[in-house]
Amino acid sequence: MTVAAPAASPTPVEAPAARLVLAIETSCDDTSVAVLERGAVVRSHLIATQDVHRLYGGVVPELASRAHLELLPPLVTRALEEAGVGARDLTAVAVTRGPGLVGSLVVGVAFAKAYALGLGVPVVGVNHIEAHLHAGTLEHGDSPVPAVALVVSGGHTELVVVRGPGDYRWLGSTLDDAAGEAYDKVAKLLGLGFPGGPAIDRLARDGRAHAFDLPRPMLDRPGFDFSFSGLKTAVLHALAGRPAPYPADVVADMAASFQAAVVDTLTAKTLRALDHTGARALNMGGGVACNRALRERLAGECAARGVAFRVPSPRLCADNAAMIGLVGAWMLDRGLASDDALDAVASLEESGLLPAG
């Protein structure tokens, strides 16, 4: 595993009564633990990336569950040490309940429930997508509302209107592959490693964005939904007849052309959503929100419209426990602690976050 560098040494807890939440995220292949004070100050934050999946070119669910099981206890111990607190100082435990890989989620939820029970503190189950919507708050403070949120990850591509914590209206989703999934599949076609997003992002800088003529899916249709599976097929067709492995200049040109198509598509639908809703801010999250070209493009478009653009640093875009602690603390403030029935949910539909538009 790879554990991200420890945070700077913690400041002492200001008062014994300070509200301290232990947050746990295990929805996919990152095991993450954080300690948050009053839902706002991140006192410690660890993210262990499970390198084992690289060998298989994608996340292997059974291996992910096992790795979460092994990683959680030592990460919790270290997160408490780095936060400068003892387990008995904790006042609640927040955990991702879904959506995600159900085996991975079950490990986190079972651990969190048992840990909270042992300490006699409440546990709160947090929706993973809701946490991505708000991750920027940890660095930028409260968002102006209404806001549009774009969540772009390996599993999701969602456009949502945010009117406040817990108050959402869904605008659109992908109808097939998520944006990150498309990055990963195209990277595989190009012979790049897993996950593919960072590699394509890097290589695109040396390529020509107009070298291959790729479609901008769904832009000719009204609404806010996305579709990325046709783009992957278009890449396959554009490379047909060339023997693999492809020369470096072809890989760079395809990376640049594919990335331009994804960024154009995400940008067009997001701007449509901003115009449609009159939103005052754009919040972005999910692993694809690390993408340099997407960040630059949306920053420029938002500046031109006088809309606040709020995307956190890459560490808080990807899967992380700090965003779970943030939303968990808000839920606890609203009296929304979970009961014994707290369980993992695999899909967004089951997670209860999707109100009718």
User: What residues line the site for ligand KG4 (CB under 6 A)?
Assistant: 28, 153-155, 180, 183-184, 195-198, 201, 286-288, 290-291, 318-319
- Partner from Zn ion, ligand KG4, none binding residue 154, C-beta < 5-8 Å depending on class: ligand KG4
CA–CA separation, 181 and 174 (whole Å): 11
Question: Which C-beta is closer to ligand KG4: that of 122 or that of 196?
Answer: 196
Rounded to the nearest whole angstrom, what is the least distance from the CB of residue 29 to ligand KG4 in the complex? 8
Structure tokens belonging to residue 343 = 């369980």
Phi first, then psi, for residue 31 (nearest 5°) are: -100, 120
CA distance 21 to 3: 21
Q: Does 26 bind Zn ion (CB under 5 A)?
A: no
Using CB under 5 A, pick the residue from 153, 157, 174, 270 that binds Zn ion: 153
Q: Which does 165 bind (CB under 5 to 8 A by kind): ligand KG4, Zn ion, none?
A: none
Q: Does 257 bind Zn ion (CB under 5 A)?
A: no
Q: Which stretch binds Zn ion (CB under 5 A): 109-117, 153-161, 201-209, 249-257?
A: 153-161
| DSSP state, residue 36 | E
Residue 253: both structure tokens together? 């040109």
Q: Which helix (H) or strand (E) holds 92?
A: strand 92-98
Cα separation, 337 vs 353, in Å, equals 16
Residue 196 Cβ, how far from ligand KG4 at the closest point, in Å? Answer: 5
Angle between helices 229-239 and 179-189 (to 10 degrees): 20
195 binds, among Zn ion, ligand KG4, none (CB under 5 to 8 A by kind): ligand KG4
In which element (H, E) is residue 137 found? Answer: helix 137-140
Q: Which is nearer to Zn ion, 190 or 327 (CB)?
A: 327
25 belongs to the binding site for Zn ion (CB under 5 A): no
Please identify, using beta-carbon distances, which residue of 205 and 237 lies nearer to ligand KG4. 205
Q: Kindly tell me the sign of the dihedral angle through the C-alpha atoms of 124, 130, 132, 135.
A: negative
Sheet holding 281-285, edge to edge: 167-173, 157-164, 147-152, 281-285, 308-310
The closest of 109, 160, 101, 176 to 347, measured between CA atoms, is: 101
**Nearest distance in Å: CB 211, Zn ion:** 31
Binding-site member from 319, 337, 338, 344 for Zn ion (CB under 5 A): 319
Q: Which stretch binds Zn ion (CB under 5 A): 44-52, 91-99, 150-158, 322-330?
A: 150-158
Q: At its nearest, how many Å lie between Zn ion and the CB of residue 101? A: 11
By the criterion CB under 5 A, which residues form the site for Zn ion?
A: 153, 319
